[in-house]
Amino acid sequence: MTPEEEKKVLASSPVGTWVVMATYGVIFVVTWLAMYGLFLSRGPVH
C-alpha cells in the first residue's frame, strides 16, 4: 500500500462499522421488543 493509499484509508469513514452497528441496533431493538411481547404477556412470575 502506498503512503497516499494509506492516508486515504485513515481519512475515510468506517462505513462497514456504521453498517454493522446500525444492523445490530435494529436487531437489538426488535428482539428486545419481541422478548417483551413473548414473555411479559404471560404476566409476572409467581
Partner 1 sequence: MSITAEQAAGLAAKSRSGVTEVEAYGNKLGLWSMWVAFAALALGLPMGLFQAAERSGFFPGIENTAVYFASTSTHGVLLAFVLTTFFAMGWGHHTLAHVLKKKPFFGWTSFWVALTGTVIAAVPLLTGYASVLYTFYPPEMGHPAFYLGATLLVVGSWFWVADMIIGMTQWRKENPGKPVPLVAFMHVMTALLWGWTSMGVASEAVFQLLPMAFGISATIDPGLARTLFSWTLHAIVYFWLMPAYIAMYMIVSKEAGGKLFSDEFARIAFVMLFIFSVPIGFHHLYVDPMQAAGWKLLHMFGTIMVAVPTFLTGFTVLASMEIAGRLRGGKGLFGWIGALDWGNPLVLAGGLSLLMLTAGGWGGVLNAAYTWDVMVHNTQWITGHFHLIFGGTTVIMYLAAAYWLWPRITGNALFSRKLAVTQLWLYFIGMVTLTAPWHVLGLVGQPRRVSSTPYDAFPELVASWSVYEALMIVGGVILVISGFMFIYNLLMTHFNKVPAADTKVEYAVAIHEPMRVPNILNSLSFWNWAMLAYMIVSYGYPILQFAFIGTPGSIRWGT
Encoded one letter per residue, x for contact with partner 1 by CB under 8 A and - for no contact, window 16-35 reads xx-xxx--xx--x--xx--x
2 binding partner 1? (CB under 8 A): no
Q: What is the C-alpha to C-alpha distance for residues 1 and 22, in angstroms, rounded to an integer?
A: 30
Look-up of cell digits 468506517: 14
CB of 8 to partner 1, least distance (A): 9
Classify the phi-psi angles of 43: left when phi > 0, otherwise alpha if psi is within -120 to 50, otherwise beta: left
Residues that bind partner 1 (CB under 8 A): 1, 6, 9-10, 12, 14-17, 19-21, 24-25, 28, 31-32, 35-36, 39-40, 44-45
